[in-house]
Amino acid sequence: MTYALLALSYVLGATPSSYWVSRLVRGIDLRQHGSGNLGATNVFRIVGPGWAAPVMVVDVVKGFVPVWLFPRLIDATFGWTLAFGGAAIVGHIFSFWVGFKGGKGVATSAGVLLALAPWAVLGCFAVWCALTFPTGYVALGSIGAAVSLPIFVLLTPDRGGEGLMWFSLALAVFVTWAHRSNLKRILAGTESRFKWSGDAKAEDHSEVA
């Protein structure tokens, strides 16, 4: 049962909500437009803000459900809880539905942490807003939120202990690595700022995915 739920966590995480929405609404392959990334930011840019919100919610839920629900079904250890969350994140990034090329895992990771450390997620969201809205760089906000995650996990009274700390550190490293090209462009002054109007001509390659 445990391994079946682990596999189900991956399948749930692999659900390519942004890809399906862009196909249904615009008849396009989102990977061939905008940044080419399968995430809510690219949906906002190409399909429209009205569709980006539900895509974001689905991507967060994909991470939340395996961590909040599945352990309760089998009385799993915390180690297995983290494994369920990790499988969902891997599924989102390497989705079998779209040739194992998905998003960057930020929203799904937020869903996982929302079930495990909600106060830490709230702190990270504040950091994301503080960095993203003034600058227009979604990637900068995502990197800042990821880097601050272990700090908030350490400071907030959420359960998880050492295991959650290592998990948050791994996520921080991965999200930063996933945005390495964005970071290089930001440092070089060549990264385009995200246009909150949802203009499809915006060429910012930052993602919350």
The answer to whether residue 202 sits within a structural domain is no
Decide if pLDDT at 194 tops 80.
Answer: no
The answer to whether residue 208 sits within a structural domain is no
pLDDT in tens, 102-149: 888 899 999 999 999 999 999 999 999 999 999 888 889 989 999 999
The answer to whether residue 18 sits within a structural domain is yes
pLDDT at 167: 93
d(CA 98, CA 13): 13
d(CA 125, CA 148): 10
- For residue 50 the two structure tokens come to 């009205």
The answer to whether residue 205 sits within a structural domain is no
The answer to whether residue 32 sits within a structural domain is yes
> What residue numbers bound the domain in which 78 lies?
2-188
d(CA 186, CA 197): 21
Among residues of the chain, what percentage have pLDDT more than 90?
Answer: 59
pLDDT in tens, 15-64: 999 999 999 999 999 989 877 888 888 898 889 889 999 999 999 999 99
d(CA 173, CA 146): 8
The answer to whether residue 201 sits within a structural domain is no
The answer to whether residue 27 sits within a structural domain is yes
The answer to whether residue 171 sits within a structural domain is yes
Region 189-208: mean pLDDT is 58
Q: What's the structural domain count of the chain?
A: 1
pTM above 0.95, yes or no: no
Nearest by Cα to 183 from 135, 149, 151: 135
